[in-house]
Amino acid sequence: MIRIGFAYNQKPEESALIGTEAARAEKLTDGELSRPDEEPPSRDEFAEWDSKATIDAVAGALSGLGEVIRLEADEDFPERLRDIRPDIVFNIAEGRHGVNREAHVPAICEFYGIPYSGSDPLTLSLCLDKARTKETLAWHGIPTARFTVVREVSDIARALKALSLPLFVKPIHEGSSKGITERNFCRTRAELEARTASLLAAYNQPVIVEEYLPGAEFTCAVLGNGKTAEVLPIVGMNFASLPEGALPIYGYEAKWIWDRPENPLQMFDCPAHIDASLARAIERVTLDAYRVLGCRDWSRIDVRLNAAGEPNVVEVNPLPGILPDPADNSCFPKAARAAGMSYDELIQSCLRLAAARQRVPLSRQLRKARTAPKTATRPRSARLRELDGPAAKDSVSNRLSA
């Protein structure tokens, strides 16, 4: 039986409350469309970390493949990893601090020569910098909204010369919609100055100023490597489910305030109801972005249409959110379900992809599956379930030839 180290960061229980129930209770008044005045970093400090329920669900799924050793990515992580030396690490750790936080666990695994799942430190750091990500995309000719980086309010004049209003501003190094509310949509110079100044002060990092993409939004879950990387059924954002008058974005309000357990937003449409040519165009930019950014095993890529209806990459998440409860509206598991994969199969597929890529043999039980016949008509989920079999060889050779 292989020994799987499971690296994660667990949300403190109290902060989970601050991020959701308490924040909602404080902000929501009877039926009114509540918008946060501000959501200081202290409120959403742990928004990216995983809940106990997610961590337990992932550990449960991994236990179908081997012995799971939980390795919380705290300050003792390097020492514990060195002592335990698992055969492979399944990594979902979002990291503790700094702009390279998501790269720390993979970098430590590399230091000790221990295989791990998912993208490498370079890709994780790159994708946590929205501007560097977009530079890479633009250099490769992959459509993404025009942008500039603002480090102080006086840079705004330069931004306005280069870009056309309306603009959308975001902290450069965050995720989970930290610092992204309706106020980030700026129609005028005054709005741009006010919101940029408040983000610079609150998040203590540069702000990326982008042209606003007015069209529909999608998010795409990708599984695989090299030529076998596939987009699972596309998830469409149903902005009609937002409260009346809301801006059509999937920001902090939609993720953390308006989507309530007693009144969940019907935010996602999966598979998205779009025509085949648009679906192909979205899949193409998604897989191109995945490839040029060096993503491995899995990632979730957000895409929005510009005024001409062309898909543009908004951002790339090499550590996708994976809430296990279908009621929690988590996009990657939702796309996997639409592809016929259970939550456990999704997690196990990711580990199998990582093991195949690094030639880590899985358990004896799974080795039997290698001899199973491969048919052209077998669904994707079945092929992924057998990734330590013939498909693994394809995957490895594609990776080597990529």
Ligand X SMILES: Nc1ncnc2c1ncn2[C@@H]1O[C@H](COP(=O)(O)OP(=O)(O)OP(=O)(O)O)[C@@H](O)[C@H]1O
- Binding residues (CB under 5 A) for Mg ion: these are 302, 315
Could you tell me the smallest distance in angstroms from the CB atom of residue 137 to ligand X? 13
The residue written with tokens 């991994």 in the block is: 62
Express the helix, strand and coil content of the chain in percent, nearest 5 each.
45, 15, 40
Strand-pair category, 147-150 with 235-237? unpaired
Residue 145 within binding range of ligand X, rule CB under 6 A: yes
Chain centroid offset of residue 59 CA: 19
Distance (Å, rounded) from C-alpha 47 to C-alpha 300?
17
Could you tell me the smallest distance in angstroms from the CB atom of residue 217 to ligand X? 5
Residue 356 within binding range of ligand X, rule CB under 6 A: no
The single-letter DSSP state of residue 327 is G
Distance (Å, rounded) from C-alpha 37 to C-alpha 219?
28
Scanning 6-14, 154-162, 311-319, 338-346 for contacts with ligand X by CB under 6 A, the matching segment is 311-319
Residue 249 within binding range of ligand X, rule CB under 6 A: yes
The letter for the amino acid at 78 is P
- When CB distances are held under 5 to 8 angstroms depending on the partner's kind, the choice from Mg ion, ligand X, none that residue 44 binds is none
Distance (Å, rounded) from C-alpha 293 to C-alpha 388?
25
Scanning 199-207, 221-229, 284-292, 310-318 for contacts with ligand X by CB under 6 A, the matching segment is 310-318
Nearest CB to ligand X, comparing residues 115 and 239: 239
CA trace torsion 269, 329, 290, 298 (10° rounding): -130
Cβ-Cβ contacts under 8 Å for 276 (sequence gap 6 or more) = none
Residue 314 within binding range of ligand X, rule CB under 6 A: yes
Could you tell me the smallest distance in angstroms from the CB atom of residue 249 to ligand X? 3
Could you tell me the smallest distance in angstroms from the CB atom of residue 171 to ligand X? 8
Strand-pair category, 2-8 with 311-317? unpaired
Could you tell me the smallest distance in angstroms from the CB atom of residue 163 to ligand X? 10
- When CB distances are held under 5 to 8 angstroms depending on the partner's kind, the choice from Mg ion, ligand X, none that residue 269 binds is none
Element (H, E) at 132: helix 130-139
- When CB distances are held under 5 to 8 angstroms depending on the partner's kind, the choice from ligand X, Mg ion, none that residue 57 binds is none
Instruction: Please say whether the beta carbons of 148 and 157 come within 8 A.
Output: no
Residue 352 within binding range of ligand X, rule CB under 6 A: no
Could you tell me the smallest distance in angstroms from the CB atom of residue 242 to Mg ion? 16
Residue 251 within binding range of ligand X, rule CB under 6 A: yes
Nearest CB to Mg ion, comparing residues 88 and 303: 303
What radius of gyration do the chain's Cα atoms show?
21
Footprint of ligand X (CB under 6 A): 145, 168, 170, 174-178, 180, 210, 212-213, 217, 249-251, 302, 304, 314-315, 317
